[in-house]
A = this chain, B = another copy of it.
Amino acid sequence: MNIREVARLAKVSTATVSRTINGSDKVTPETKERVQRAIEELKFYPNTWARALGSGRSSLYGLIISDITNPFFPELVKSFEDIAVQYGQEVLVANTNYDSERMELCVSRMLQRKVDGVAIMTSEMDERWIREFNTREIPLVFLDTGTAHDLTSNISVDYAAGVGAAVEHIVGLGHTEIAFISGPMMLRSARVRREAFVGCLKSRGIGAGLMEEGNHQASGGHEAMARLLSGETRPTAVLASNDMTAIGALGAIHERGLRVPEDISIVGFDDIQISAFTQPALTTVGLSRDEIARVAFRALYSSRQDGARGGEYAVQPALVVRRSTGPAPGKGEFSGRR
């Protein structure tokens, strides 16, 4: 079943069928009507590849993420797809699994499928792959990596502001012993968050806090928190590099028989959906996946459609205060609700 059969049934040429499918305005309403009916009757679905081959446009946008299993990403994927659908485009999602071999696979999938643009939402992207996209003039958008030029856009997250708001909130509650549980230091994104924390403390004249390394998952947060609790100086507040880490930390604290936030305050990062339902609900620095996805898609789409140059975009995180933060022990009456 193909366009020719439709053409035959509608008694027109294949060109006319093609025009109808593509919504050309150079087709008489009557003809269009006839063709539509033939399409309906045959339940014809135009072959996407053949369309792409013929036209040179794939209407496909790539989205490269690290790990679909990390709750931050599914929400991003969903938002990206929703907006792509609005623009009549499609999305090809690929996972790197934080693995450079898989990363190569992701890149070649994108190249082989001739995507019209790629959103690289993982921080670990080898320079040489980027070059492959550049030489083929495929628009790119990064999350907080690389800089805008030609067909490359960049979305930068103001981590300093986000972490700053968190630290301010914590300091305002009287905390002085503030610890940080980072993500895996081999990940650029994790290092950036950690540096924002260190810088923030320094600029406020607070001595460098306790540091532990996690893995951006609950397990790592749990272990890191356990180490923190058995250390010499126990922190009264802990910032985590992401919410999963904070959730793991929460568990370790409870296991020790300590309470959050009465004994220790916790702040996460990302504001994934589940954070509103942890015990207690997590105070966290929210990063809008919706906004990131929208900005990313539009950057790619406008590069492609209007030949726009790459741009530099900024996204502001926002502190979401819930129940996991409270006054430092001994500092004023505790007013939180358990």
A20 to chain B, nearest CB (A): 16
Q: How many residues of A contact B (CB 8 A)?
A: 52
> Complex Cα distance A316/B16, Å?
54
Which stretch (A45-53, A167-175, A292-300, A327-335) binds chain B? A45-53
Tell yes or no: A276 within 8 A of B by CB: yes
A147 interface residue per 8 A CB criterion: no
Is A114 a contact partner of B49 (Cβ separation < 8 A)? yes
Cβ contact within 8 Å between B93 and A93: yes
Are the CB atoms of B276 and A278 closer together than 8 Å? no
A311: interface (CB < 8 Å): no
Of the 9-residue stretches A74-82, A151-159, A177-185, A189-197, which lies at the interface with chain B? A74-82
Interface code A106-129, partner B: CB below 8 Å = 1, 0 otherwise? Answer: 001101111000000000000000
Is A69's CB within 8 Å of the partner chain B? yes
Q: Is A227 an interface residue (CB 8 A)?
A: no
Q: Tell me whether A273 and B93 are in contact (CB under 8 A).
A: no
Given contacts A93-B93, A244-B274, 6 further A-B contacts (CB under 8 A): A47-B53, A48-B114, A49-B49, A53-B53, A251-B278, A251-B281
